[in-house]
Every structure is written in C-alpha cells, then in structure tokens.
Amino acid sequence: MKNKKVNTMKKPLIAVAVSMAFIASAQAEGQFYGKMNVATVYDDASEKFSLSSNASRLGVKGSDDLGSTKVIYQAEFELAVDDGLGTDVDDAGDTDTNTLKTRDTYIGLAYSGMGTVKMGIMDTPLKKSQGKFDQFNDVIDIKNVLDGENRMANSINYTSEKMANTQVSVSAVLAENGSSDGYSASVVYSADSLYLSGAYDTKIKGESTQRVTAIFKAGDLSFGALINNVDTDDTKDEELGYAANVAMKAGSNTFKAQYEAGDQKEVGATSLSLGLDHKLAKTTKAFFYVNQSETDAADSDVTALVAGLEHKF
C-alpha cells in the first residue's frame, strides 16, 4: 500500500515538474497555450467577497506526421490562480488537493478521411455535444444544475471526420475495478447558423443520460435550448432538466441571459444568469455577471455578483 500522506505532498511538485517539461518541449515541437480566468464574487448568502479561478489552464498540444497517419497529443492542466490549490473529488468521493489538476490529456492517431482514435483522460462525447451552448461556461456553469458534464479517465475515443456537416463520436470508459464499463456517444450537425446534437451516456458515474442541444444564430443574435434527462442506475429514478439562453453581440460587447432548471443536482434547482462580456482585445475580455439560484431542498435563494477578467494565449 502507498503512503498517502507522502504521496499527497509529492503530487504538487510532480505536477509542476511534468508541466514544465511539457512547456519546454512545446517550444520546439508543439503548441503551448493557456487561459487565465479570474473573478471577484460577492454573494448575499455569505455577505462576503471571494476570488475565484474559473478553469484557468496551461497546456501543450501538437501532432507529428507518420506518413499515412499522424500522432496527436495533448496534456492540459487546470491552474488555481486564486489560492494556488485546486480541489478534486474522485469517483469514490475522496478529496485531493493539488497545485495542478489534470484536464483533457491524451495521445492518439489521426487517419485522413477516417477520423481519430484517442486514449487518455477526456470529456465524454455527451459533455462535448453541447458545443458552445453554455453562455456562462466555467464561471456559472450548467454543471451546477445539470448532470452529464463529465471528464473521464481510462477513456478510448473514436471521432469521425465531418461529412455533410455531421460528425459522430463514441467513447468507452474502462472501469478497471470489476464494475461495468461505461459508454458515451454523440451525433453533431453543425452548419453556419444551426447547431444540433444528440448524445447518450450509459453507466457513466452510475448514471445514464440523454441530451439534446440546439443553437440557432441569426446575425448578431443567438438562441439556444438544451434538454438533459438522467436515469440513475441504482434507483432507476428519472430526472429531467433543461436550459435555454439568448445572446446578442453589439460591437465589442455581448449581452446574454441563461436559465437552467432541474432536480439532478438539487431538488427544484433553478439558476438565472444575466451578463455582459466586453472585448478588450482579440484574446482578452472583461465580464460582469449577476446570478440568482434557488433550490427547494435547502429552501435557499442566493444572488451573486461577478466581475472578472479572461485572457487566452
């Protein structure tokens, strides 16, 4: 048995060392990239201000030509910009604190005209099937109300090439512990003004989920709708959730609103968000959001004010 205390202490140092090695190699062969997203948050429940790092990340990705195919790779880590420590809860419910948290990290092969095969830690096809639906992604994420936003270890994924604006993706999640393997699949249609997707999970974190997403764009306006149905494998309970949003671009500003509801995270959970994104440059924006969330179970009503800055590189 491993010494958990010693292992936990070493994890941040190992993660930093690994990330620095990837950064060094990226300068010669791959693409080094990242995103910093930090916001100041005030909520009337605690009556306090807090600083929040919202999925800030560092990564390296690239490919090498092998002749008839090419190898593709990516290593991405979430960086906690607020307090330097990220908290992760695994499938067993154990909490681990690390300097860096692994995001989508994989190696694979891409075949021209046939698609790609990847192995590693990846978002499920169901999670990715929402595309750019979530207008408040990473800050006031739909995962606060709806299930299905899963990134799974031990994943093997096949994604087809796009044909007639349509793409298919299938993942197998290997259990490795005697329980049943999980599967996730999606079909996505993406054209200039219309985005449609249908996706299905089975035995992913003890749930089977069905999701349908639609996004329609008309000039500077965008409308989105998402339906998310969850069946719990143990109890066979069925829980329906949904979300809808609208966004409008006006010069360097984007005004947006989003509503979510469902019983998947908390009974009677609802979330209403209003926001403004202001472009400061091509890769930099300031954002100002207000969110009101409620749950029947806790009989709570919380309003939060968010002001933040995001830069991609």
CB 171 within 8 A of CB 184: yes
- Distance in angstroms (rounded) separating the CA atoms of residues 302 and 73: 42
CA 201 from centroid of its chain's CA atoms: 16
Give the pTM. Answer: 0.88
* pLDDT above 90: residue 177: no
78-92, 176-190, 196-210, 239-253: least confidently modelled range = 78-92
The phi and psi torsions of 67 (rounded to 5 degrees) equal: 100, -95
- pLDDT tens-digit map of 270-297: 999 999 999 999 999 999 999 999 998 6
pLDDT score at 17: 47
- Distance in angstroms (rounded) separating the CA atoms of residues 207 and 230: 7
Mean pLDDT, rounded, of the chain: 89
Instruction: Please give the tally of structural domains in the chain.
Output: 1
**Degrees, nearest 5: CA angle 244-248-252:** 140
Separation of first and last alpha carbons in the chain: 41
Q: What is the mean pLDDT of residues 23-44?
A: 83
CB 61 within 8 A of CB 108: no
CB 126 within 8 A of CB 186: yes
Cross-strand bridge partners of residue 152 = 122
pLDDT score at 312: 98
Q: What is the mean pLDDT of residues 115-138?
A: 98
| Percent over 90 (pLDDT), the chain | 75
pLDDT score at 117: 99
Top pLDDT among 237 and 260 is at 260
Of 98-107, 258-267, 281-290, which has the strongest mean pLDDT? 281-290
* pLDDT above 70: residue 93: no
The pair of three-digit structure tokens given for residue 90, joined into one six-digit string: 């695994």
Exposure string over 55-81, b if 16+ CB within 10 A, otherwise e: bbbbbbbbbeeeeeebebbbbbbbbbb
pLDDT score at 98: 64
Could you list the residue range(s) of the whole structural domain that residue 285 is in? 4-312
pLDDT score at 82: 87
Q: What is the mean pLDDT of residues 175-190?
A: 90
The phi and psi torsions of 16 (rounded to 5 degrees) equal: -65, -45
- Distance in angstroms (rounded) separating the CA atoms of residues 225 and 146: 13
- pLDDT tens-digit map of 149-164: 999 999 999 999 999 9
**DSSP string covering 136-178, please?**
TTTTS-GGGT-S---EEEEEEEEEPPPBTTEEEEEEEE---SS
The phi and psi torsions of 18 (rounded to 5 degrees) equal: -60, -45
**AA identity, residue 38:** V
The position carrying tokens 């190898």 is 71
- Distance in angstroms (rounded) separating the CA atoms of residues 170 and 7: 34
- pLDDT tens-digit map of 189-243: 999 999 999 999 999 999 999 999 999 999 999 999 999 999 987 766 789 999 9
The phi and psi torsions of 8 (rounded to 5 degrees) equal: -65, -40
Top pLDDT among 28 and 32 is at 32
Which band of pLDDT confidence, cut at 50, 70 and 90, is reported for residue 121? Answer: very high
Which band of pLDDT confidence, cut at 50, 70 and 90, is reported for residue 300? Answer: confident
pLDDT score at 4: 36
Q: Dihedral through CA 247, CA 292, CA 283, CA 116, nearest 10?
A: -80
CATH of residue 214's domain is: 2.40.160.10
- Distance in angstroms (rounded) separating the CA atoms of residues 56 and 100: 10
Which band of pLDDT confidence, cut at 50, 70 and 90, is reported for residue 88? Answer: low
Helix ranges restricted to H, the chain: 4-28, 125-128
- Distance in angstroms (rounded) separating the CA atoms of residues 23 and 39: 26
Q: Please, is 297 exposed, middle or buried when counting C-beta atoms within 10 Å of its C-beta (0-12, 13-18, 19+)?
A: exposed
